[in-house]
Structure formats: C-alpha cells, structure tokens
Structure 1
Amino acid sequence: MSSPLTDPLQRKPHTVAFLQRTFRNKQFDEATEAIRRSHKTTQGKNPKSLMLLGPSGAGKSTIVDTYRHFYPDVAREDRIERPILYVSLHARVRVNDILSALLDACGDPEPDKGTTRALIRRFNRLASSLCVKLIIIDEIQHVLPEHTHGRTQEAADTIKSITRDTQIPFVLVGLPHASRLLTDTIKGKHEEDQLLRRFNASVEIMPAALGSKAWKNLMAGYQQIIGVPCINLTDEEMLKRIHLATSGLHGFVSNLLEHALEETDGKEQVCIKHLARAFEFTTGSLSKVGNPFLLPMPQVERALALRANV
C-alpha cells in the first residue's frame, strides 16, 4: 500500500496539516460574532438574518464552514437534529430551485415535487422536525437577475415567508452585489413589508490593502501556521510580491501556500522558487503582468502601481 509520501493522489502530510488549521484575524472574529448574533435570535419574536458579503477568495466560506463545525448534526434515538442547514446555489436559480435545495438538505425524497407553496409548507415542517436553528445559503447572488426586479422580489418574499413562519434566521453569503436582495423592491411595497428590516447590518469581508497593518498581520499569521520552515513572508519585498499574486485575498493566499507546500518535502524551507512554482498552479497563472515571484522588484512595484490606479 502506498504511503502519503509516495502516493501521487494524496496531498503531502504537511500540506494536509496546514489545511486543517484555521487562521483567525479581526475580520474573521467580527464576522463570526455577527453570525452568532443572528443565530441567537432564532425562535424569538423577531429573528434577525444576516448578509455576509465579499469578493471571491475573501474567506467567506472558511468563516461559514468553521462556524458550522461547532453545530454538527445530532443523532437522537428517534430522529436526527440538524441545528444548521446549509445549501450552496448554482448559477441562474429560481425560487423553486432554492426551495428544492433546502428540501434536499433536509433529506426530502422528492425535493423537486410540488408548487412553490407546497414546497414552502413541506420545508417548514421538515425544518421544525430537524430542529433547524439557522439556515445558511451560499452563493446567494445567483438568485439575482440582471435586468428585472421580479425574481429578486420573489426570492426576498420567499425568505421572508420562511423566517416569519419558522422563526429561523438566514445567513445569506455572496458577492457584494448580492446586497440588491435587500434593496431592490417592486414599486408599491410598503417599508414594513420589506426584507431589509428583518436583517441585521450586513458584514463585508474585504481584501487587505497593501501597506496596511491588516496585510502584514495576515501574512504574519500564515507564517505562524504554515508548520514548516518558510521564507519570511512579512519581508517588505515578499509582502509586495504576495499581494500582487493574490490581491490581498485570504483564500488566494491560502491556495498559494497550499501549492507551495506541495512543492517541498516538509523539511526544506519554503522559498521563493516554491512560491513561483505554486503561482503557476493557481488562477494567478492567467496574470498579464507575469509571475510576481520571478519578476525583478521594479517590475513588481510598477505592476502594483498600475493596479492601484485602475
């Protein structure tokens, strides 16, 4: 039998160890607290939902996955309890697609069968039987049409209806423009009937700016958890090279370091040649400015300046 060191289909042990560690920073803790605040309003008179927004790679999924880890399914003698119900949407979904995804996550054998009203009623019953206390919908921007408010309002009304009937808050996770779900309404909707008033203030996860304390702290944090000898990630030149490679996005940094770790044996130091190789395995390979870990520093600084002026 192959060991993890010889099996080409397994990540190396030091890579796996890195991926199992959770990096926490101020944004992570603030977002987690915001989710908890919404979670605590479940089954209350006025449950408050939340939107967690940010660009792809900002770390939203890591925050949500970490939070879900603390509320796993519970097997009782006569049933399963699912404290947190999680679904992730795909492109161009309609309201019935959302309801079907929620029913499927509840274990419904025929999640696509029925009218919208029937799907909602069935979901409400199942959510109650599973003792669901929080509903998380990821990639919520996929419910937003480009040129019409109708589907947006329909999705908003469905979420509002479920929250009202079940007293379960939602956490809606998506790209920044998903905030339209709270602000786009059909003419004539009364303020007291809108979804916005049922939500706490949105939390937006932003990439760390080059030169900011947040960026240096982020890289210092990764330096601590990488788990193997590593080049100084907080060196001024490295801070610039990595920012050019990742745009300061948490998820992109993690992805870069994951690939860099796969380039080593776990004993040798992760150095710039490993980061250069790792960059070619990430979406950064599509970069028009070249590989930030191979470019001379004047070119790196010029590329950063051009990006800042865009």
Structure 2
Amino acid sequence: MVCAVDLDIDNQMERIKIVEDIRIKHPRFNHALKLIQDCHQHSKIAAEPQCLLITAPSGAGKTTLFRQYVKMHDKIIYGNTRTKRVILSDEVPSPTRLVVVVESLLEKLGDPFPLRGTLGNKRDRLIKLIKDCQIELIMLDEFQHFVNSENNKLNYEVAEWFKSLVNITNKPFVLFGLEESRIVMEVNEQLDGRFSVPYHLHPFSFNSQSDKEEFRRLVDAISKQLPFEDQPTFAESGMATKLMYASDGTMRRLMNLIRRAARIAIERNHPHVDENHFSEAFELFTRFRKEYNPFLINDFEFE
C-alpha cells in the first residue's frame, strides 16, 4: 500500500527535478553557439580552419555552453575498420603538464594505452588518431590552465606544443577559459592570428536601460518554467533588481539562487516562490559575499 506521504514526496521530487533541469538559451548564449557552429561548418570548406577563443568570468556560462554544443553535435560512428568521432572535447587539467594533456586527449580518443610510450610517441599517436577518427572540431575547456595561476606566467612548453598541434592537424579549435586565457594569444603571434575571432561572454548587468530590460526578459523566462501554477514573474522591477544584486549577473549564481528558493517553496507546498524563499536561499548561497540580504528590504536599490 502506498501512503499519501510517499505520493507527496514523489510529486515534490518530480517538481524539483523540473527546476534542476531548467536551461535558458538567452540571446548571448545563442550567439556564442552560432559562432562555434560557424567555426565548425565553415572549416569544412575553408582553406584554413577558423578558430575561436571564448572567455568569460567564472559562473557566466562558458562551461554550460561548452557542454551544450558537444551534446548537440558530437556523434560517434562505428565502422568496420575505424571509428569516426565528430568532436574531440576535453578539459585542460590543472596544474598543466604537457604529458598529462596529451594522455588525456589520447584517452578521449579511445587509445587503449594512453600512458604507454615516450612523450614523442604519444604526440604522434594523438595526431594520427585525430586524423583516423576524422575529427571535425576540437574543443578545450579551462584553457586558462595554460597559465600558472600562482605567478600568472605561461607554460611555454605546453603552449608551443599546442601551436604545433593547431598547425599540423589543420582542424578548427574552440577554446573556453577565464579572461587570463588571452595571455596565451598575446605572447604568441601565430596563435593570435589563428584565433582571430574572440568572444567574451559578459555577465548580465544594470549599466543601462537596455541591460536592465535584457535581464528582466531572462528572469521572466526562468519564472515561466518553474513548476508552479500561480508563479508571479521575476521581471517586476523590484524583484529583478534584487536578483541582479544577489547574483552579480552571472548565470550560475542566479540559477543556484532560483533553484534553491524553488526547492524551499516546493518542500513547503507553497503555491509559488516568494521573497521569503529567496531570502533563505540567499543566506545559504550568497550571504558571505554581500553586505545586505536584498530580499529583506522592501525598496531595495544598489549602484
């Protein structure tokens, strides 16, 4: 026999899963996806592949963008004599050492013994596998790990090898990293020339009226996806201002805050998310970084 409490918990978990699965493809996100797709498709017919560097501060959505494109476009095609893969994607490890980077890429391509052999042998196998698997696009996340975080100096051995990999494979590369990733390009003219299409994924802001309207459209779209029948929009001026202050305009902080507030409302069987739920969520996620809890202040404003 299934009791009412169990059914209620199941319903709550289903609704919480809906909240966790919310993904918003806002215009900036879609523009970045289009740039990646342009690199991918144009390079099939271009004399020289087009490469792209996407930078963003932590939490702005670059890793989500990275995963989304791989999810949308990567395919593995098994043939009689070889396996084709559309995208080679990986995360640059930290701290970065050349041998570790090469071994990780070999593993991604299915090399049965990525740790075996000399460094030179591993590099040769990697180039051969990229060719044999007919890789169309190479995507690397956390590219800033090419730069030592302690002294802000470039790992020249890794950078030089990477330049040769770009030249030898003649494949389009899309790199994702924090803003310090630009250092790699600035000290290497050849790489800078290859990555002539930079894109910076800015956090949202309240710097202008159009910025405010853009953010309100974003939070309105999120509020409409929440599993409540009577959910007021978050686009109302006061609520949008509080969400901007609490999240600093970054998607990760914004979604963490909204997901936690929605979970609190669901677990308490409330008809919608309100400022009390946001206030609790704020204390859990954001309070240590901020002077005020905006959800406790009626007419909250900030510069």
Which bin holds the TM-score, normalised by the shorter protein? 0.7 to 0.9
Unaligned runs of 5+ in 1: 186-190, 306-310
Q: Tell me which moved more, 74-83 or 58-67.
A: 74-83
Distance 1:4 1:20, change over 3 A: farther
Structure 1 residue 131, shift from structure 2 partner: 2.3
- Listed one character per residue, the Cα deviations across residues 126-185 of structure 1 (whole Å, up to 9, x for unaligned) are 22232221111111111102547551x433322222222222211111111111111124
- Does residue 13 (structure 1) correspond to residue 29 (structure 2)? The answer is no
Does the aligned pair in 2 maintain the 1:140–1:174 contact within 8 Å? yes
Q: d(CA) in 1 for partners of 2:154 and 2:220?
A: 47
Letter in 1 for 2:17: V
Paired residue for 1:188?
Answer: none
Asked whether the 8 Å contact 1:91–1:142 carries over to 2, the reply is yes
Contact 1:14/1:261 (<8 A) preserved = no
Contact 1:264/1:274, CA 8 A, preserved across alignment:
yes
Question: How many Å separate the matches in 1 of 2:215 and 2:175?
Answer: 26
1:181 aligns to 2:184 (yes or no): yes
1:73-114 C-alpha deviation (Å, 9 max, x unpaired): 334243443211221233221222221221121122332344
Aligned-partner residue type, residue 236 of structure 1: S
TM-score (norm 1): 0.83
Q: 1:203 is paired with a residue of what secondary structure?
A: strand
Task: Give me the whole-angstrom Cα distance separating, in 2, the residues matched to 1:66 and 1:72.
Answer: 10
Deviation at 1:246, TM superposition (A): 0.3
Q: 2:194 aligned to 170, 195, 198, which one?
A: 198
2:60 corresponds to: 58
Contact 2:224/2:233 (8 A) holds in 1: no
Q: Is the 1:35–1:171 contact (alpha carbons within 8 Å) kept by the matching residues of 2?
A: yes
% identical equivalent positions: 25
CA shift for structure 1 position 48: 1.6
Separation in 1, partners of 2:43, 2:7: 44
| Offset at residue 33 of structure 1 (A) | 1.1
> Does 1:85 pair with 2:81?
no
CA displacement, residues 27-78 of structure 1 (integer Å, 9 cap, x when unaligned) = 1111011111111244553112111111111111222222112223334243
* Contact 2:52/2:195 (<8 A) preserved: yes
* Partner of residue 280, structure 2: 277
Provide the C-alpha distance between the structure 2 equivalents of 1:209 and 1:183, rounded to a whole number of angstroms.
28
Shift of 1:273: 1.4
Whether the 8 Å CA contact 2:54–2:198 is kept in 1: the answer is yes
- Between the aligned partners of 1:214 and 1:248, the Cα distance in structure 2 is 11
Partners in 1 of 2:256 and 2:175 — Cα distance? 24
The more displaced of 57-66 and 15-24 is 15-24
The structure-2 alpha-carbon separation of the partners of 1:167 and 1:218, relative to structure 1 and needing over 3 Å to count, comes to same
Q: Partners in 2 of 1:25 and 1:277 — Cα distance?
A: 27
Partner amino acid, structure 1, of 2:221: G
Question: Residue 22 of structure 1 aligns to which amino acid in structure 2?
Answer: R
Higher helix share: 2
Give the letter for the 1:16 counterpart: K
Partner of 1:122: 125
Q: Quote the residue 2:204 is aligned against.
A: 208
Q: Is the 8 A contact 2:146 2:159 kept in 1?
A: no
Q: 1:48 to 1:4 in 2, by over 3 A?
A: farther
CA contact (8 A) 1:12 1:262 kept: no
SS of the residue 2:113 aligns to: coil
- Cα RMSD (Å) of the superposition? 2.6
Q: How many residues align?
A: 290
Letter in 2 for 1:285: R
Cα displacement (A) at 1:18: 3.3
